[in-house]
Structure 1
């Protein structure tokens, strides 16, 4: 089966139909959940520090963002595919969304985010979708501006599917050139099916490239098979309708739920949002 990045650019490949299929696929939902949880684990966010402000690179329709929120954090997402972002808006995800080609770099203020994750996105940057695309230059812009966007110290964890060792080397060497420390984490390296690649990149506190001894010591170890089983081989239900960590979701259609959605619409600049009143969410009597 052809890799999606070989078929067409992401903004074309993930059109309306493909974006909806991707979001509704239960297998993709499960995989996305597992990889997002692993990325958050590798971020090693400080305990008892309250919600962290995270960047979800290539957020798509918000599947990873919902997991970030479930874990108690606030997030901003960016993606190059308008149809994916439209699905995210229809699903009323909580994160702010940006239409962004990551190969052109980010424009966020320096030190904005406490961390960043990316699931199954980086491999798209290795392709030239037009005559103006130079993968090496696009990777450098991506890593340089990402480095600037992160607080010190912090981490960025990027899960991706490289086609070759050359792609791994190019991504890692470019990240180090941009100022990151850290390295590559490979989960289940001896499993053809479960093997996963994560760039675990660090800003401050051990930065300075792969030759930095402190940075090397901080790189987490990849997961290994346990009795022939993958550690994170757990199937989760959809995030919607489940209890979120630290609080229960409001009953859909209830007053708290309606007030939260109205406030979300106002923040996004939607017009004609009804004002709040004592009649908000009041059930109408049945008329005969």
Structure 2
């Protein structure tokens, strides 16, 4: 049986008919609810938060976010999806979140530090398919994760549940997140079964330690993008460090001075 993302782009696959079937299928709704609660457990939120739901569809996950009882909830959420038909179903159901028609593969247009957290259920695998000859899967993932990093507050967390085609695709997704600056951990539920579900747990900044999020869970592979060093045997120069710092600040929306031939040079001591 072919995967949905192999058949059509998501905005075409989830047309009016498919979107309504998705929203009314009791099996799909139960699975969606289980994965949403799992993502919330991995986020480990302690108070009502502003959450971005990427690939929000008809608002099934959003309804759960709105229903979390005090003192942890209810959460306020904004949903972004590429399918206008899915969003139309959400509007018909009068979900409580704000909705945005957007292609995550082109980047998320939010101000720096807008959200406390983000979730994505069964959506990221769609970004692994390039929709035209001028795009690449790597480019779409790069734009998505870099813009998500910017949209989250320092110390913020994100959990992306997705269905990778194979280990190569799983590595491509996690590597794109790490290159964007996230601390990243991969968790697999149901290992060795056809129902395996992969969760990419992401944190922003030193205060969001990824090892604290997934501590004590079996099957978690952790790689922290903030602690990666250079290639073995290659010494980083002062200019390299300054350039990396500037690039990181620019991703966060900060204005930095232009890099010139004088960047990183030590000043002579004047007597």
TM-score range, shorter chain: 0.7 to 0.9
SS at match of 2:203: strand
SS at match of 1:117: strand
Q: Does 1:59 align with 2:56?
A: yes
Residues 188-226 of structure 1 deviation map (CA, whole Å, 9 limit, x = unaligned):
213x1332100000111366xxxxxx64464345569xx
1:35 corresponds in structure 2 to: 35
Q: Is the 8 A contact 2:130 2:140 kept in 1?
A: no
State the TM-score, normalizing by the size of structure 2.
0.76
1:115 corresponds in structure 2 to: 117
In structure 2, relative to structure 1, the CA distance for the partners of 1:200 and 1:220 (3 Å cut) is farther
Instruction: Please list every run of 5 or more consecutive structure 1 residues that lacks an aligned counterpart in the other structure.
Output: 208-213, 225-288
Counterpart-to-counterpart distance in 1, 2:66 and 2:154: 22
Q: Is the 8 A contact 1:56 1:77 kept in 2?
A: yes
2:156 corresponds in structure 1 to: 154
- Structure 1 moving runs of 4+ over 6 Å: none
1:284 corresponds in structure 2 to: none
Q: Does 1:137 align with 2:139?
A: yes
Deviation at 1:45, TM superposition (A): 0.8
Residues 125-154 of structure 1 deviation map (CA, whole Å, 9 limit, x = unaligned):
111221122110110110000000001111
Q: How does 1:119-268 map onto structure 2 within 5 Å?
A: 119-190=121-192, 192-205=193-206, 215-216=210-211, 218-220=213-215, 222=217
Q: Is the 8 A contact 1:79 1:101 kept in 2?
A: yes
How many matched pairs? 214
Q: Is the 8 A contact 1:182 1:219 kept in 2?
A: no
State the TM-score, normalizing by the size of structure 1.
0.71
1:14 corresponds in structure 2 to: 14
1:79 corresponds in structure 2 to: 81
Instruction: Please list every run of 5 or more consecutive structure 2 residues that lacks an aligned counterpart in the other structure.
Output: 69-73, 220-271
Q: Is the 8 A contact 2:43 2:213 kept in 1?
A: no
SS at match of 1:103: helix
Counterpart-to-counterpart distance in 1, 2:180 and 2:111: 17
Q: Is the 8 A contact 2:55 2:81 kept in 1?
A: yes
Q: Is the 8 A contact 2:149 2:180 kept in 1?
A: yes
Deviation at 1:82, TM superposition (A): 0.5
Counterpart-to-counterpart distance in 1, 2:61 and 2:117: 14
Deviation at 1:165, TM superposition (A): 0.6
In structure 2, relative to structure 1, the CA distance for the partners of 1:189 and 1:124 (3 Å cut) is same
Counterpart-to-counterpart distance in 2, 1:159 and 1:36: 9
1:70 corresponds in structure 2 to: 67
